[in-house]
Structure 1
Amino acid sequence: MNPVTVIPGNSPIVLAQPHSGTFLPEDIAANLTERGAMLADTDWHIPQLYEGLVPQATVVRAEFNRYVIDANRPPDGASLYPGQNTTGLVPMVDFENRPLWREEPEEAEIARRREAFHVPYHAALSAELDRTRAAHGFVVLYDCHSIQSRLPYLFDGTLPDLNIGTNGGTTCAPAIERVAKDACAASPYSSALNGRFKGGWTTRHYGEPARGIHAIQMEIAQLTYLEAEEPPFAYAPDKAADLRDTLAAVFAAIESTFGDLA
C-alpha cells in the first residue's frame, strides 16, 4: 500500500489528515497487544467528515495508522508538550496509558519506520504546500484531527468540542485565527483556542505566515460525530451532518480572509 494518498486541488486550502489511517504492515500488527490492535487512538472517519466541505481542496492523507509512526510528531521524537503526558513518535502506550506492544520497538525499528512512512508523508505534504503557494501566493494548511472527549491521561475533564491550535497565534495570520475562533463561538459547539491542543508538529513546522504559509489545527471531540467513543467507533450521520455545517462555516470564514493574504 502507498503510505500516502494525495488528492490535488485548486483551492488555496490544503487539508492534512495524518491520523485517520488504519493500515498496519503485518509484522507491526503482529507485535501489537490486544489493546493496541483496537487502534483506539485513530482519528476515526476524518476523510468522510471532511469530504466535499472545501471543493477543490488538496488532501494529503496518511494511510498508515499512528501506531506505526505518528506523522504529527517531530522526526527526532521531541515532546510537543513538555511536562505534560503525551505520546511519542512511535507511541509506546495509548491515550489511556496502556501498553501497545508485546515488545517495544527499538531505535533501529523506529528509524526504519521514519524513513518508510514519516518521511514520505511530509515530502508529499511539503510538495503540495509549495505547489499551492506558487499558484495563489499563499496557502492555508488546515490540519484535521479528532480525539476522544475524555482521556484523563492527557487532560482533565471533558475536552471542548472544537479545539483550534495556532501555537499561540504564531502559525497563521491573525485574521485566520480570529475568524475561525468566531465561527466556532457562533456554533452550537463548545470551543477553545490554543487550549490543551495548540497545534502539533505539522502546524508548528510549516506555519510561517511571513512566507505565505498559514497553518491551523482543528482537534474535534469525537462525541460530536460518532455514535460512541468506543468500538466499533461508528460514524453517526445525523450528528456528523450538524458538525459539517459548522465546519463549512469555519471554512467560509477562513476563505473570507483570502483577499488580504494574496
Structure 2
Amino acid sequence: MNTQPSEVAPFEVTRGTSPVILGFPHTGTHVPDAVKARLNDMGRAVEDTDWHVHRLYDGLLREATCVRATFSRYVIDANRDPEGVSLYPGQNTTTLIPQTDFEGRPIWREGEEPGAEDIAERLAAFHRPYHQAIEAEIARVKAIHGVAILFDCHSIRSRLPYLFEGTLPDLNFGTDGGRTCAPEIEAAATAVVPDGFSQVLNGRFRGGWTTRHYGRPEDGVHAIQLELTQAAYLVAEEVPYDYAPEKAEKLRARLGKILARIEAVASRLAR
C-alpha cells in the first residue's frame, strides 16, 4: 500500500488497491485559531469527535483506501448536506455547522454563532476538499475493479437523550432503507456472527449525507455507514475518552470479518 501525504490540510488519504474505501469524516480534532476563539468552553472540548475510530480500523483490511477529515465537525460537519437539508426531519440532530453539541448544549460564545458567510467559507476550505478526495478515490477504485464500496466509519456515545431514547445497539448499520448499496453488501455486513455485540440495520442512524450522496448501486458505487457505540471500545464514554485495547481488539475482530465479507462481494458485483 502506498501512503500518499495529503497536500491539502483538511484531509489525509491512504491509497490501497481494494475496492473498499473507508471514510472517516468525524475523527479530526483540528480547529483553526479563528474558529476556536468563537467557541465556548464546551465547544473547545470537541467532545462529539468520533474518538479513535481510525485507530480502531487500522490494518483490518490491508489494501483498503482511507480518506480521513482532519478538522473537527464543529468547524463544519463533513457528513451533512452542504445545502443544509436535515438528515432526519422532525428529529433532533446537529446541523452543517453545529450550533449545539449532542446534548443540546450551545457550543459557541454568545453572539459568535456562525452565519451564512462562515458556512460558505468553510464549505470551500474544508467540506468540499474532503469530498473531492472521496470522489477521486471512488473514481480510481472503480476504474480498477468496475465497482467501489464506500464504508463510512463513525462512533457515538451510547446514551444521548437529546438525539434518541434509551441505549443504542453496539453496531448501527445504515443504508437508507437499502437504497445506498446492493442487497448483497447489506447482507454481508450484517450476517457476521454477533460475538456478544448487539446490532441494528437502519435504526436511529440510516446513513448520513456521505452514504446517501455516494451510494448509487445502479452506477456501481455502493455505500454503507456503521455507527459504533463508544462503549464498545473506550474505557468510558467521557473525558478523556481513552482507548481500551482489550475491548477494542474484540470489536476489531468483528469489524475485520465484516470488511472481508464486503470485499469478497465486490468481485461478484463487478460481473
Cα distance in 2 for residues equivalent to 1:186 and 1:7: 29
Q: Which SS does the other structure have where 1:256 is aligned?
A: helix
CA contact (8 A) 2:174 2:205 kept: yes
Query: What is the Cα deviation at residue 29 of structure 1?
Result: 0.8
Give the aligned partner of residue 143 of structure 2.
134
Cα distance in 2 for residues equivalent to 1:39 and 1:235: 17
User: 1:248 aligned to 2:256?
Assistant: yes
User: 1:20 aligned to 2:16?
Assistant: no
Unaligned runs of 5+ in 2: 1-7
User: 1:218 aligned to 2:226?
Assistant: yes
Q: Which SS does the other structure have where 1:151 is aligned?
A: coil
User: Which amino acid in the other structure matches residue 117 of structure 2?
Assistant: A
Give the aligned partner of residue 71 of structure 1.
78
Q: Which SS does the other structure have where 2:135 is aligned?
A: helix
* 1:217-257 deviations in Å (ceiling 9; x for gaps): 00000000000111110000110000000001111221231
User: 1:187 aligned to 2:173?
Assistant: no
Unaligned runs of 5+ in 1: none
Q: Which SS does the other structure have where 2:44 is aligned?
A: helix
Cα distance in 1 for residues equivalent to 2:69 and 2:205: 20
Cα distance in 2 for residues equivalent to 1:255 and 1:112: 37
| Number of residue-to-residue matches in the alignment | 261
Give the aligned partner of residue 240 of structure 2.
232
User: Which amino acid in the other structure matches residue 172 of structure 2?
Assistant: N
Give the aligned partner of residue 40 of structure 1.
47
Aligned-residue identity in percent: 57
CA contact (8 A) 2:145 2:267 kept: no
Cα distance in 1 for residues equivalent to 2:171 and 2:25: 18
* 1:179-216 deviations in Å (ceiling 9; x for gaps): 21111x53310000000000000000000001110100
Give the aligned partner of residue 8 of structure 1.
15
* 1:73-105 deviations in Å (ceiling 9; x for gaps): 000111000000000000000000000101101
Query: What is the Cα deviation at residue 68 of structure 1?
Result: 0.2
Q: Which SS does the other structure have where 1:35 is aligned?
A: helix
Cα distance in 2 for residues equivalent to 1:69 and 1:225: 26
User: 1:84 aligned to 2:66?
Assistant: no
1:121 to 124, 130, 151: 130
User: 1:93 aligned to 2:100?
Assistant: yes
Cα distance in 2 for residues equivalent to 1:151 and 1:93: 13
User: 1:144 aligned to 2:124?
Assistant: no
User: Which amino acid in the other structure matches residue 231 of structure 1?
Assistant: V
Give the aligned partner of residue 167 of structure 2.
158
CA contact (8 A) 2:60 2:252 kept: yes
Give the aligned partner of residue 216 of structure 2.
208
Q: Which SS does the other structure have where 1:76 is aligned?
A: coil
Equivalent residue runs for 1:162-177 within 5 Å: 162-177=171-186
Instruction: Give the stretch that moved more between structures: 153-162 or 252-261.
Output: 252-261
Cα distance in 2 for residues equivalent to 1:186 and 1:47: 22
Q: TM-score, normalised by structure 2?
A: 0.95
Q: Which SS does the other structure have where 2:56 is aligned?
A: helix
Cα distance in 1 for residues equivalent to 2:99 and 2:82: 16
CA contact (8 A) 2:18 2:263 kept: no
Q: TM-score, normalised by structure 1?
A: 0.98
CA contact (8 A) 2:172 2:203 kept: yes
* 1:164-187 deviations in Å (ceiling 9; x for gaps): 00000010010110121111x533
Cα distance 1:187–1:253, how it changes in 2: closer, same or farther (>3 A)?
A: farther
